[in-house]
């Protein structure tokens, strides 16, 4: 799924099947936030084909590793979102129970 | 005075830009931009003609020349990210998600609509239908009925027409007849009857076998209601009063409906949400003091009652943006000439989302959100494994 040159691993296009804007746009964001990335972007060559191409050009590190790190970052961000959300829901639930208690008093 | 103006005073000149690596090697990278850039980076300006600065600055080196690092480190994300639940009812949750890029917030929304699985009726075997609703229309209507079943307890059907067992199929029966001489009847979703033992219709192309049971469309190894997760929680439609069809005297419907697991991308009937949407937090800033008659005028201009009038002593009254959250961005308050545009500034905060998830009822909305986030995690994991 990687298309790049053998001599220069810092520039590559990754072609992912069964993905769309959902993944590509958020990974573009995390890649852009990485200082090692010189350029990144994605395209969907044809709307009826389930495929996105993600282009990564770095300042020297292998593009593959940088993309992997970006995925890792996105995953950790998601985990943090999930735990924060669960905590917020717990808080909301307990305060709701409390207001119901005081209502019935 | 707005916040941006205040930060003007304590802004310090950043180091001269001399390469990103140098900047990143510094311990305390100056993180505040000049206030005007900070404003354009974090706010959408909603002017009377068009919104301005709607894009987000994603590139980490965007402000390298100013000596400001625009990259996002995980620890600073974790520090600043916040979620506050505003409203939580049975089928709807509204919460504020603060400190996240629109790209990721939008992914969550897209996943909620198209990729979180639910159970929906996929195959309908019609034994008899003499109602005026055609078979295909009836089947389509059945498909759209939300099924109260936790999709996490089921498997995806491997292949249509493949093995249909108690782990991937829910079978419902619908048999209603309107007797002759009786008034018309309305068939509602609560008349769908759950068959925990699987299909009762004999499969036509199977060879009749004298000694064994007649072969049906499913092959359940055991009854679903003997499974602990369903025994105290019978499966059925979430809403009992969805109209499926109307029957006149002498008409009859007899059918069997098989629900399977799927995602909204394949067909909207599997979408677990009625709506999942967000809006950016509105910010209404008065750029100059709006007093007395003008204050009154401004208050009356706004259809959403965003402004209040406060007394500031000596018989003077001043307008105040008291409820900016209610602003719908109708821009009524900045109509009426340039002077109003100079008085009021309408903005949106780019990284503050008011997220609303309305579930169809199959899965509680707070569970839907965590499932959506998990799906994005899975996507990352998939790519990581493919890359290594
Ligand atoms: S844009 Fe409309 S809703 Fe918002 S403050 Fe102005 S008048 Fe009120």
| pLDDT tens profile A18-46 | 999 999 999 999 999 999 999 999 999 99
Task: Kindly list the distances between the CA atom of residue B335 and the CA atoms of B50, B284, B293, B342, in Å, as whole numbers in the listed order.
Answer: 13, 15, 17, 11
pLDDT for the residue A103: 58
For residue B376, list chain A residues with Cβ-Cβ distance below 8 A. 22-23, 26, 74, 78
pLDDT for the residue B344: 92
pLDDT digits (tens, 9 = 90+) for B261-312: 999 999 999 999 999 999 999 999 999 888 888 999 999 999 999 999 988 8
Q: Across residues B332-339, what is the average pLDDT? A: 88
- Tokens 């998600």 belong to B97
Does B129 share its domain with B93?
no
Does B280 share its domain with B370?
yes
- If one compares B7 and A33, the residue with the highest pLDDT of the two is A33
- If one compares B222 and B6, the residue with the highest pLDDT of the two is B222
pLDDT for the residue B4: 44
Does B266 share its domain with B281?
no
One DSSP character per residue, A65-77 reads HHHHHHHHHHHHH
> Is 70 exceeded by the pLDDT of residue B212?
no
Does B97 share its domain with B162?
no
Q: Is any atom of ligand 1 closer than 6 Å to the C-beta of B23?
A: no
Q: Give percent above pLDDT 70 in chain B.
A: 88
Distance CA B188, CA B277 (A): 30
CATH number of the domain residue B247 falls in: 2.170.120.12
pLDDT digits (tens, 9 = 90+) for B84-110: 999 998 899 999 999 999 999 999 999
Ligand 1 probe mutation, B323, B335, B346, B347, most atoms within 8 A of CB: B346
pLDDT digits (tens, 9 = 90+) for B111-136: 999 999 999 999 999 999 999 999 99
> Is 90 exceeded by the pLDDT of residue B207?
no
Distance CA B168, CA B128 (A): 26
Q: Is any atom of ligand 1 closer than 6 Å to the C-beta of B336?
A: no
Q: In which element (H, E) is residue B78 found?
A: helix B74-80
Distance CA B317, CA B276 (A): 41
Domain boundary among B239, B270, B301: B270
B368 with B150: CB under 8 angstroms? no
**What residues contact A33, with CB distance under 8 A and at least 6 apart?**
A73, B58, B60, B70, B71, B72
Helix (H, G, I), strand (E, B) or coil at A59: coil
B215: in domain: yes
Distance CA A59, CA B71 (A): 15
pLDDT for the residue B18: 43
> Is 90 exceeded by the pLDDT of residue B180?
yes
Decide if A3 touches B, using CB distance below 8 A: no
Residue in chain B lying closest to A25 (CA)? B103
pLDDT digits (tens, 9 = 90+) for B351-360: 999 999 999 9
- Residue A64 is classified by DSSP as H
> Is 80 exceeded by the pLDDT of residue A102?
no
Does B174 share its domain with B134?
yes
Does B169 share its domain with B214?
yes
Q: For B38, phi and psi rounded to 5 degrees?
A: -60, -40
- Domain of B333 in residue numbering reads as 42-60+71-116+272-287+320-388
> Is 90 exceeded by the pLDDT of residue B383?
yes
> Is 60 exceeded by the pLDDT of residue B9?
no
Q: How far is the CA of B334 from the centre of ligand 1 (A)?
A: 8
Q: What share of chain B is helix, strand, coil (3-state, %, to 5)?
A: 30, 30, 45
pLDDT digits (tens, 9 = 90+) for B224-271: 888 888 877 888 999 999 999 999 999 999 999 999 999 999 999 999
B304: in domain: no
Mean pLDDT of chain B: 86
pLDDT for the residue B167: 85
- If one compares B41 and B271, the residue with the highest pLDDT of the two is B271
Does B263 share its domain with B281?
no
Does B101 share its domain with B134?
no
Q: Identify which of A33, A75, A84 has the shortest CB distance to residue B71.
A: A33
Q: Identify which of A1, A21, A88 has the shortest CB distance to residue B85.
A: A88
B4: in domain: no
Q: Across residues B50-73, what is the average pLDDT? A: 85
Domain boundary among B270, B295, B311: B270
Does B88 share its domain with B146?
no
Q: Into how many domains does chain B fold?
A: 2
Confidence of residue B2 (pLDDT cuts 50, 70, 90): very low
pLDDT for the residue B15: 40
- If one compares A3 and B343, the residue with the highest pLDDT of the two is B343
B242: in domain: yes
Does B326 share its domain with B368?
yes
pLDDT digits (tens, 9 = 90+) for A49-81: 999 999 999 999 999 999 999 999 999 999 999
Q: Is any atom of ligand 1 closer than 6 Å to the C-beta of B110?
A: no
Q: Which domains does chain A have, with CATH numbers?
A: 2-103 (3.30.1360.10)
B202: in domain: yes
pLDDT for the residue B204: 67
| DSSP β-bridge partners for residue B45 | B52, B347
CATH number of the domain residue B92 falls in: 3.30.1360.10
Q: Across residues B161-177, what is the average pLDDT? A: 86
As for the ipTM of the complex, it is: 0.92
């Amino acid at each position: 799924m990687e298309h790049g040159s053998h001599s220069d691993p810092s520039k590559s296009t990754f072609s992912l099947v069964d993905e769309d804007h959902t993944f590509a746009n958020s990974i573009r964001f995390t890649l852009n936030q990485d200082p090692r990335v010189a350029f990144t972007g994605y395209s969907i060559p044809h709307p009826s084909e389930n495929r996105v191409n993600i282009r990564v050009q770095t300042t020297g590190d292998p593009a593959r590793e940088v993309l992997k790190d970006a995925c890792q970052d996105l995953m950790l961000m998601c985990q943090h979102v999930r735990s924060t959300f669960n905590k917020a829901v717990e808080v909301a639930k307990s305060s709701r129970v409390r207001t119901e208690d005081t209502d019935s008093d | 005075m707005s916040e941006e103006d205040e930060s003007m005073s304590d802004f310090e000149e950043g180091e001269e830009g001399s390469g990103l690596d140098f900047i990143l090697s510094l311990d305390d990278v100056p993180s505040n931009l000049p206030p005007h850039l900070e404003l354009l980076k974090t706010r959408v300006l909603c002017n009377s003609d068009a919104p301005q600065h709607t894009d987000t600055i994603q590139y980490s080196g965007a402000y390298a020349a100013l000596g400001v690092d625009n990259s996002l480190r995980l620890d600073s994300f974790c520090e600043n990210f916040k979620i506050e639940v505003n409203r939580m009812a049975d089928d709807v949750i509204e919460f504020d998600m603060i400190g996240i890029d629109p790209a990721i917030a939008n992914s969550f929304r897209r996943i909620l609509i198209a990729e979180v699985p639910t159970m929906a009726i996929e195959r309908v075997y019609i034994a008899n239908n003499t109602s005026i609703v055609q078979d295909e229309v009836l089947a389509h209507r059945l498909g759209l009925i939300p099924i109260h079943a936790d999709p996490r307890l089921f498997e995806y059907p491997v292949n249509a027409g493949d093995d249909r067992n108690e782990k991937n199929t829910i079978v419902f029966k619908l048999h209603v007849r309107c007797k002759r001489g009786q008034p018309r009847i309305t068939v509602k979703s609560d008349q769908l009857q759950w068959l925990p033992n699987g299909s009762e219709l004999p499969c036509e192309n199977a060879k009749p076998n004298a000694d064994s049971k007649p072969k049906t469309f499913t092959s359940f190894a055991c009854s679903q209601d003997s499974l602990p997760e369903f025994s105290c929680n019978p499966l059925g439609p979430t809403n009992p009063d969805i109209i499926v069809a109307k029957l006149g005297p002498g008409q009859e419907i007899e059918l069997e409906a098989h629900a399977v697991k799927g995602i909204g991308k394949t067909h909207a009937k599997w979408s677990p949400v009625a709506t999942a949407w967000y809006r950016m937090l509105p910010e209404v800033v008065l750029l100059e003091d709006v007093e007395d008659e003008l204050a009154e005028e401004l208050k009356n201009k706004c259809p959403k009652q965003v402004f209040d009038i406060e007394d500031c002593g000596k018989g003077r009254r001043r307008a105040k943006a008291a409820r900016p959250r209610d602003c719908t961005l109708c821009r009524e308050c900045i109509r009426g000439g340039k002077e109003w545009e100079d008085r009021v500034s309408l903005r949106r905060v780019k990284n503050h989302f008011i997220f609303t998830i309305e579930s169809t009822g199959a899965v509680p909305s707070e569970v839907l959100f965590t499932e959506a986030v998990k799906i994005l995690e899975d996507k990352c994991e998939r790519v990581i494994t493919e890359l290594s």
